[in-house]
Chains A and B, each alone.
Chain A
Amino acid sequence: MEEILQYLFSGLTSGAIYALIALGFTIIYNATEVINFAQGEFVMLGAMLTATFCGLNLPLPLAFALAILITALAGILIERLAIYPARKASPITLIIITIGLSILIKGLAMFIWGKDPLPVPAFVGERPISVLGATIIPQSILVLATALIAVLTLEAFFKKTLTGKAMRACAANRLAARLLGIKVEPLVLLAFALSAAVSALAGVIISPITFATYDMGTMLGLKGFSAAVLGGLTSSSGAVLGGFILGILEALAAGFLSSAYKDAAAFIILILMLFVKPEGLFGTKEAKKL
Chain B
Amino acid sequence: MKKQYLALLILGTFLLTTGFINRNDYYFNVLNILILNGLVVIGLSLLMGYAGQVSLGHAAFYGLGAYTSGILTAKYGLSPLAALLAAQGVTLVAALLIGIPALRLKGHYLAMATLGFGIIVYVIFKELISLTGGPSGLVGIPPLQVAGFTFLESKQYYFLFVGVLLVSLLLALHLAHSPFGRALLALHDSEAATMALGYDTGRLKLIVFLLSAALAGLAGSLYAHFAMFISPMSFTFIHSVKFVTMVVVGGVASLWGALLGAVVLSLLPEVLTVFEDYDVLIFGTILVVIMIFLPEGLFKGLGNLFLKHKKT
Q: Which of A85, A108, A218 contacts B292 (CB 8 A)?
A: A85
Q: What number of A-B contacts does a CB cutoff of 8 Å give?
A: 131
Segment with Cβ contacts to A, from B19-27, B77-85, B114-122, B154-162: B114-122
- Complex contact B284–A290 (CB within 8 A): no
Chain A residues whose CB sits within 8 angstroms of the CB of B282 once the complex forms: 107
Write the nearest CB–CB distance from B111 to chain A, whole angstroms.
8
By size class, the interface of chain B is 35 or more
- Complex contact A100–B288 (CB within 8 A): yes
Q: Which of A96, A105, A225, A226 contacts B245 (CB 8 A)?
A: A96
Chain A residues whose CB sits within 8 angstroms of the CB of B295 once the complex forms: 86, 88-90, 93
Identify which of A82, A101, A107, A222 gathers the most chain B CB atoms within 10 Å of its CB: A107
Is residue A97 contacting chain B, with contact meaning CB distance below 8 A?
A: yes
Is residue B37 contacting chain A, with contact meaning CB distance below 8 A?
A: no
Q: Which of A105, A111, A289 contacts B278 (CB 8 A)?
A: A111
Is residue B209 contacting chain A, with contact meaning CB distance below 8 A?
A: no
Chain B residues whose CB sits within 8 angstroms of the CB of A92 once the complex forms: 48, 54, 248, 252
Write the nearest CB–CB distance from B183 to chain A, whole angstroms.
15
Looking across the interface, which residue of chain B has its beta carbon closest to that of A115? Answer: B277
- Complex contact B291–A107 (CB within 8 A): no
- Complex contact A101–B112 (CB within 8 A): no
Identify which of B105, B112, B117, B191 gathers the most chain A CB atoms within 10 Å of its CB: B112
Q: Which of B191, B195, B281 contacts A111 (CB 8 A)?
A: B281
Chain A residues whose CB sits within 8 angstroms of the CB of B107 once the complex forms: 286-287
By size class, the interface of chain A is 35 or more
- Complex contact B291–A86 (CB within 8 A): yes
CA distance A222 to B57 in the complex (A): 13
Report if A110-B280 is in contact (Cβ < 8 Å); known contacts: A82-B288, A99-B241, A264-B119: yes
| A→B interface (CB under 8 Å) | 82, 85-86, 88-93, 95-97, 99-108, 110-111, 218, 222, 225-226, 229, 258, 260-261, 263-264, 267-268, 270-271, 274-275, 278, 286-290
| B→A interface (CB under 8 Å) | 48, 54, 98, 101-102, 104-109, 112-113, 115-117, 119-120, 123-124, 127, 191, 195, 201-202, 237-238, 241, 244-245, 248-249, 252, 277-278, 280-285, 287-288, 291-292, 295
- Provide 24 A-B residue pairs closer than 8 Å at the C-beta atoms, listed in order of the A residue: A93-B248, A99-B287, A100-B245, A100-B284, A101-B288, A105-B284, A107-B278, A111-B281, A260-B127, A261-B123, A261-B127, A264-B120, A267-B117, A270-B113, A271-B117, A274-B109, A274-B113, A275-B102, A275-B113, A278-B105, A287-B107, A287-B109, A288-B105, A290-B105
